[in-house]
Amino acid sequence: MTKPSIHFPKDFLWGCATSAYQIEGSPLADGAGPSVWHRFSHTPGRVQDGDTGDVTCDHYRRWESDVDLMQSLGLNSYRFSIAWGRVLPEGTGRVNAAGLDFYERLVDRLLSRGIQPMVTLFHWDLPAALDDRGGWLNRDIAHWFAEYANVVFRRLDDRVKYWTTLNEPWVVADGGYMHGVLAPGHRNIFEAPRAAHHLMMAHGAAVQAYRAVGRNQIGLVVNIEPKYPASQSDADLAATRRAEAYMNRQYLEPALLGSYPEELHEVFGDACPKWPEADLKLIKQPIDYVGVNYYTRAVVRSDPTAWPLKSTTVKQKQHTHMETGWEVFPQGLVDTLLWIRDKYGNPPVYITENGACFFDPPQVEGPVLEDPLRVDYLRKHITAVHTAIQRGADIRGYFAWSLFDNFEWAFGFSKRFGLVHMNYETLKRTLKTSAHFYSKVIATNGAAL
Ligand SMILES: OC[C@@H]1[C@@H](O)[C@H](O)[C@@H](O)c2nc(CNc3ccccc3)cn21
3-state secondary structure 205-237: HHHHHHHHHCCCEEEEEEECCCEEECCCCHHHH
3-state per-residue secondary structure call for 60-113 = HHHHHHHHHHHHHHCCCEEEEECCHHHHCCCCCCCCCHHHHHHHHHHHHHHHHC
Question: In the chain, which residues have pLDDT < 70?
Answer: 1-3, 323-324, 360-364
Of 24, 244, 266, 353, which one is the catalytic site residue? 353
What's the pLDDT at 321?
77
Spatial distance between the Cα atoms of 317 and 75, rounded to a whole number of angstroms: 33
- Ligand 1 pocket mutation, candidates 293, 321, 350, criterion most atoms within 8 A of CB: 293
What's the pLDDT at 285?
98
CA-to-CA dists, residue 39 to 8, 28, 126, 131, 185, angstroms = 43, 12, 11, 11, 10
Determine whether the shortest distance from the Cβ of 246 to ligand 1 is under 6 A: no
Q: Which atom of ligand 1 is nearest to the CA of 408?
A: 5
CB-CB contact of 184 with 36 (8 Å): yes
- Is 168 one of the annotated active-site residues of the chain? yes
Other CB atoms within a 10 A radius of the CB of residue 138 amount to 16
Determine whether the shortest distance from the Cβ of 417 to ligand 1 is under 6 A: yes
What's the pLDDT at 320?
79
**How far is the centre of ligand 1, averaged over its atoms, from the C-alpha of 355 (Å)?**
10
What's the pLDDT at 368?
80
**Torsions phi, psi of 228, nearest 5?**
-120, 130
- By alpha-carbon position, which residue is closest to atom 2 of ligand 1? 408
CB-CB contact of 422 with 18 (8 Å): no
- Is 353 one of the annotated active-site residues of the chain? yes
Determine whether the shortest distance from the Cβ of 37 to ligand 1 is under 6 A: no
What's the pLDDT at 5?
79
- By alpha-carbon position, which residue is closest to atom 13 of ligand 1? 223
The per-residue pLDDT for range 59-78, each reduced to its tens digit, is: 999 999 999 999 999 999 99
Other CB atoms within a 10 A radius of the CB of residue 112 amount to 10
Q: Which atom of ligand 1 is nearest to the CA of 402?
A: 5
Determine whether the shortest distance from the Cβ of 19 to ligand 1 is under 6 A: yes
Spatial distance between the Cα atoms of 112 and 110, rounded to a whole number of angstroms: 5
Of 24, 168, 191, 225, which one is the catalytic site residue? 168
Q: Which atom of ligand 1 is nearest to the CA of 167?
A: 9
**Torsions phi, psi of 64, nearest 5?**
-65, -50
CA-to-CA dists, residue 24 to 21, 124, 129, 145, 409, angstroms = 6, 14, 20, 21, 13
